[in-house]
Amino acid sequence: MEKNWAGLFEALNAGTIPDGDTGLIATLRFLGETKYAVLEFTPYRTVRNMRPLEEEQGVSFRAEGEKIFVIYEPADYVRKYDEPYLREPGEDIPLRFSELEAIMLPNNDRLLINRDSYRSSGSVTLQKPDRGDFAMYIFDRGNLVEHAKTFLDRVLHDDFAVPHAARVQLLARFQAQVERLHAMDT
């Protein structure tokens, strides 16, 4: 049985990502030892000029297209009132609060997701992850939307213990964005 997602670096090294594939690159980075995290979804079709970094410690590429961001913000996050685009490197995303939807959790943590996918153009460097961070590739095996939704649901449930009702709410917004991005591929 084929997997619906795999570690990005493992898939690149094994050559299992087909040329022209319309899957998604999903990255997650935590802020130090906190639960603050930024998830970023980049369509693979927008990736150009991918090349390995020295000593195979990561990859560098250009990505020109839409992105989806999800932030998990714990209640004790000290910069919660700072606009996301003004936060420290590694904590920031290129969006303002007015461009995000917030979903409050019962423990006063919150999830943030962009209202519409964000159009970006520029170079991206992905280091091989550590400390629980990850870089994954979600394959398009005929049902990218469901694969991406299942992937995000597992991350929210397993890594952040997000309650079911909040996951459903966030996943509905995420699904609409992935459907729109995927429609651009067909």
Is residue 167 within 8 Å of 153, Cβ to Cβ? yes
- For 151, list phi and psi in degrees, rounded to 5: -60, -50
pLDDT value for 11: 85
Q: What is the count of structural domains for the chain?
A: 1
pLDDT value for 185: 64
Buried b (16+ CB within 10 A) or exposed e, 28-67: bbbbeeebbbbbbbbbbbbbeeeeeeeeeebbebebebbb
Query: What domain range is 82 assigned to?
Result: 5-183
How confident is the model over 62-75, as pLDDT tens digits?
788 889 999 999 99
pLDDT value for 120: 83
What letter represents residue 177's amino acid? Q
pLDDT value for 38: 95
pLDDT-flagged residues of the chain (< 50): none
Q: CA 87, CA 69: separation in Å to the nearest integer?
A: 15
pLDDT value for 147: 94
pLDDT value for 108: 96
